[in-house]
Structure 1
Amino acid sequence: MFEHFELRHIPALFTATVMTFGGMWSYFDARGAMLEFGLPDRIANTPAAAAVMHINNARTTVLGMCMYTLYFRRELVACFRLVSSGLLSAVGFAGWTAGR
């Protein structure tokens, strides 16, 4: 399975792992995930915010699974392009700054 593994693949595998499993957090503890994300307590306690967090984290989990799929299919260029995508960075940064 890892015959083509090289040290330079670690950032992509780390990112895929964090996105896949970190994205599942809100399904087990939506309030805790929102508080860790930096949202204020008044937002973390609302059911509507939990629904939005579930949708966002579903997207994150799917992107992580896509990265794993691309990696194991040895489509490394596409995998690294997804890692370095400005879209992922922009969405994460916008959410992080809005939560501060």
Structure 2
Amino acid sequence: MASFKPWRHIPPLLIATGQAIGGIMPFWDPAAAIRAFGLPEQIATAHPAQLSFMIYGSRATIIGVAMWISYLRGRLRTVDLLMALNFYGSATDAYTCWLEGEIGKAWFRGLLAIFLGGWGLLGVTAGA
């Protein structure tokens, strides 16, 4: 069994908290949530985009809560799996920002995708 190393738990808990709490932001201010995501103003103020972002937010919250539940139950391999699966979401976020000309946000989200995916695939949280 691997020894406990607190630094291994910081990134997944930050991601879990960010998703769990951040995912509810579109319910009270969808335009601000879209802007915080990094998409341009014409998307932030479009009603159909706001509705879609509320749907997106609910799924982000589900993933964040699932990560917290898994962590609190000691299922660190599941936390790593969810981190690895976040690669897809973050890579999609990066691609979407890129398509909308938000290059800085796209690079940030792309690097985040690599970090999250790598963290999970390597099993860093569980100490594999």
**What TM-score do the two structures reach when normalised by structure 1?**
0.83
Query: Runs of 4 or more off by more than 6 Å in structure 1?
Result: none
Match for 1:52: what amino acid?
S
Q: What runs of 5+ residues in structure 2 fail to find an aligned partner?
A: 103-128
Residue 79 of structure 1 and its aligned partner are, at CA, apart by 0.4
- Identity %, equivalent residues: 30
Correspondence for 1:42: 42
The letter for the 2-side match of 1:91 is T
Q: Structure 1 regions of 5+ residues with no counterpart?
A: none
- Number of equivalences: 97
**TM-superposed deviation, 1:95:** 3.2
- Please give the alpha-carbon distance, in whole angstroms, between the structure 2 residues aligned to 1:66 and 1:21: 13
Once residues 60 and 88 of structure 1 are traced to their aligned partners in structure 2, the CA distance between those partners, rounded to angstroms, is 9
Q: Does 1:88 align with 2:56?
A: no
Alignment of 1:8-27 (within 5 A): 8-27=8-27
Q: 5 Å matches for 1:30-69?
A: 30-69=30-69
With a CA cutoff of 8 Å and minimum separation of 6, indicate the structure with the bigger relative contact order. Answer: 1
Distance 1:56 1:98 in 2: 18
TM-score by length of 2: 0.67
Amino acid at match of 2:21: F
Deviation track 1:27-62 (CA, whole Å, cap 9, x = no partner) reads 111111112222222222121111100011111111
* 1:5 Cα deviation after fit: 7.7
